[in-house]
Structure 1
Amino acid sequence: MTLFKKIVVHTISRQSLGKLFDLAAGSRLSKHLIKPYIKLYKINQEEVRQDSQFNSLTEFFVRDICPSLRPINQEEGAVVSPVDGRIADLGFANQGKVILAKNNSYSLRELLAGLPAEEFQDGFYLNIYLSPKNYHRIHMPHEGRTIKHRFIPGQVFPVNELGVSTIKDLFAKNRRTCSIFETPEGIRFCLIKVGALGVGKIVSSFQEGQDINRGAEIGRFEFGSTVILIFQGKTFKPMENLAPGMEVTMGQKIGEIKAGD
């Protein structure tokens, strides 16, 4: 069964199939799949804006949402969830490693692929999985300036349970972007956007050196995705109720920035 799973995962992640999938989902004919897609994934249609104007399945997938349905927590120092999704794992990067799935650990150097990793040693990390039903735009978890931003080419393995339980070191192999931000207090955090399925397209809407407000939209995914947050040292205090399996919504407070010890 394990061999069969590997064959399935490697087959659906082939670049040629990914391009074909992207082309099909972006075609005007694919708009006829929107209603079955809503039914299949039980999407809350009350949150969908202008649902009658989508010209393709891709357009629906990257749909906007009414801002009043995702209020941004305005407490001083608050860090908010950058996306809607389910917490897959969380904890501290002990000895420079994070555990992102099925006790599979990754070094910060592997994940950041050349960006400075030392300052995130022992930092708190949070892995959020976005299912096909979720809102797939990404927002700023805390106000800050973009220090580094890098696109890392790679595979497009699915990031669902099948993928992470089958492919070793999946998150370090998949196509992703790594961005390092610095808050006005001088505290840094990293946001990693991991693509999956299809061509794993990741759109970023900011540049290095740009100041960005908490809650501002900074990008989006097109089909399949995971967001990983990693905070510098001991500068993040998570909410006590955060736990694996918990559903979070964009703008919801997940913790707060605090001075390092």
Structure 2
Amino acid sequence: MKLLKKAVVHSISRKSFGKAFDIACGSRFSKLFIKPYIRLYKVNRDEIRHPSQYKSLADFFVRDICPTLRPIAPGEDVVISPVDGKIVDLGFAKEHKIILAKNNTYSIPELLSYEDVEAFQDGYYLNIYLSPRNYHRIHMPFSARAIKHRYIPGKVFPVNNLGVSTIKDLFAKNRRTCTVFETAAGCKFALIKVGALGVGKIVSSFQVGQEITKGAEIGRFEFGSTVILFFEKNSFLPDKQLTANMEIKMGQKIGTIRIQ
């Protein structure tokens, strides 16, 4: 059974399959599948701003949302969730490794593709999975300046339970972007956008060197994926309520960061 699962996952991760999937979902014909998609994935209809104006299923997937539905938690030192999703795993890095799901450990240098990783040793991380029903735009978790941004090419394995349980080191193999930010107090944190099956693009809407305020939109996915937040050692204090398998919303407080 495990071999069968692996064969299925490898088959659907092929570039040809992904390209065909992307074209199909971006076609005008795919508009007919928006209503069935809403029913299948139980998308919250109250959050759909313009239900009749989407040109395709892909257009619907990257829909925006009324800002009043995702208030940004106030507080000078407050860090917010950058996305809607489920916390798959969380904790502190040890021995240059972090555990992201199913007890799979990942090398910090490999995952971040960033030279100066020593500051992240013993740092805190969160792995947040975005399901097909979630709002898929990504927002700034804390006001900071983008100091490094890198696109890392790779596979497009699905990041759901099937993919994670089947493919070893999946998050380090998948296509992704890694951005390192620095706060006014000099604290660094990384935001990793991990691509997946059907993610034709990982869009980043900022420039290196840009100062970005908390809550500002900084990118989006096209179809389900994962965001990993990773904080420099001794810079972040997580909320006590955070637990694995917890559903969170963009703008919700997830902890505090050192501001002096």
Aligned equivalents of 2:128 and 2:101: distance in 1? 11
- Please state if 1:45 is matched with 2:45: yes
Q: Cα offset for 1:259?
A: 6.4
Counterpart in the other structure of 2:251 = 251
8 Å Cα contact 1:97-1:107 kept in structure 2: yes
Query: Would you say 1:67 and 2:67 are equivalent positions?
Result: yes
The answer to whether the 8 Å contact 1:79/1:257 transfers is yes
Which digits, 9 at most, give the CA deviation of each residue in 1:162-182, with x for residues without a partner? 000000000000000000001
Deviation at 1:258, TM superposition (A): 2.3
Give yes or no for contact 2:154–2:173 (8 Å, CA) kept in 1. yes
Give the aligned partner of residue 238 of structure 1.
238
2:136 corresponds to:
136
Conserved 8 A contact 2:72-2:80 = yes
Q: Deviations over 1:142-193 (max 9, x none)?
A: 0000000000000000000000000000000000000000111111100000
The alignment status of 1:181 with 2:178, answered yes or no, reads: no
**Matched positions, count:** 260
**Letter of the aligned partner of 1:243 in structure 2?**
T
Which residue pairs with 1:18 in the alignment? 18
- Is the partner of 1:23 in helix, strand or coil? helix
Where 1:159 maps in the other structure, the secondary structure is coil
Alpha-carbon displacement from aligned partner over 1:84-114 (angstroms, at most 9, x marks no partner): 0000000000111100010000010110124
The sequence identity of aligned pairs, in percent, is 68
Q: CA RMSD in A?
A: 1.0
CA-to-aligned-CA distance 1:224-252 (integer Å, 9 cap, x gap): 21000000011100000100000000000
Q: List gaps (5 residues or longer) in structure 2.
A: none
Distance 2:201 2:27 in 1: 16
2:145·2:183 contact (CA, 8 Å) conserved in 1?
yes
Distance (Å, rounded) in 2 between the aligned partners of 1:76 and 1:96: 30
TM normalised by structure 1 equals 0.98
Please state how far the C-alpha of 1:117 moved relative to its aligned partner: 1.4
Deviations 1:28-55 (A, max 9, x none): 0000000000000001111011111000
In the alignment, which residue of structure 2 is the partner of 1:84?
A: 84
CA distance in 1, matches of 2:165, 2:75: 38
**1:200 Cα shift?**
4.4
2:52 is paired with a residue whose SS is helix
Deviations 1:178-231, CA, capped at 9 Å, x for gaps:
000011111110000001002442000001000000000000000121000000
Contact 2:187 2:232 in 1 (8 A): yes
Q: Which residue of 1 aligns with 2:99?
A: 99
Structure 1 residues 170 and 2, CA gap change in structure 2 (3 angstroms)? same
User: Runs of 4+ in structure 1 displaced over 4 angstroms?
Assistant: none
Q: What residue identity is the alignment partner of 2:218?
A: I
Contact 2:84/2:136 (8 A) holds in 1:
yes
